[in-house]
Amino acid sequence: MLELKNISFGVDSEEGQKEIIRDVSLTVDNNKFVVITGPNGGGKSTLARLIAGIEKPTSGRILLDGEDITDWSITDRAKAGISYALQQPVRFKGIQVIDLLRIASGRYLSISAACDYLSEVGMCARDYINREVNASLSGGELKRIEIATVLARSTKLSVFDEPEAGIDLWSFQNLIKVFERMQEKNKDGSIIIISHQERILEIADEIVVIAGGRIKEQGPRDQILPALLGTASAVGACTQLEKGSEQ
């Protein structure tokens, strides 16, 4: 279980301290699929980076299974079972896809097992297993490879920052199935996704709406989604819902 307790985060600016996250408290129980949505610039990606340990809160606490991890490094959080998929995946010149999957899994993976993870994200394994994770790969290919590494880790908490960015419609439709299978296979694991996509919102257990650095709404999908889709003024979160699914 992940708990955020009164988390705030700010950065220095010419006008002084600019607060991006303001007193956010949130609990993600085990085996939950939570989608965090809201207007651009509202603090969604910053919150994901705080959970992953890329940023440290200026106040508040982060707990994982009751243990305070607020000051833990990214590495320590990864060892504790937190995976994080970046909005823009990193390129690793000189590292092959098979090596990246083995590093992510923390164990020796056979070629066959590694290919299974690539197949899960809609990639023809034989075309990619020995490719370098470098500039020769498109943004969409990198995104799917990164998601495959998260699958290989099978961690207790997987955080995805706009996983649909840069992928085509066919891949997006299969991405939905990937997330559904993740929940089915990892009964103790939870998923947090930062997304505007209606299709992703529709499969969430819970939806959290963030605007202006604060949680504006949160609750079960059936409670939050109808108002989110039906009201244009619902914290501006619907403006991007259909964008990307046409890519």
Q: How far is CA 165 from the centre of its chain?
A: 12
For residues 208 and 221, what is the distance between their CA atoms, to the nearest angstrom?
Answer: 9
| pLDDT of amino acid 23 | 96
DSSP 150: H
Q: What is the pLDDT of residues 36-94, one digit of tens each?
A: 999 988 999 999 999 999 999 999 999 999 999 999 999 999 999 999 988 777 788 78
Question: pLDDT tens digit string along 19-37?
Answer: 999 999 999 999 899 999 9
The pLDDT, as a whole number, for residue 231 is: 55
40-49 pLDDT tens trace: 889 999 999 9
With a CB cutoff of 8 Å and minimum separation 6, the contacts of 71 are 56
pLDDT mean across residues, the chain: 86
- CATH architecture of structural domain 2-213: 3-Layer(aba) Sandwich (3.40)
DSSP 231: -
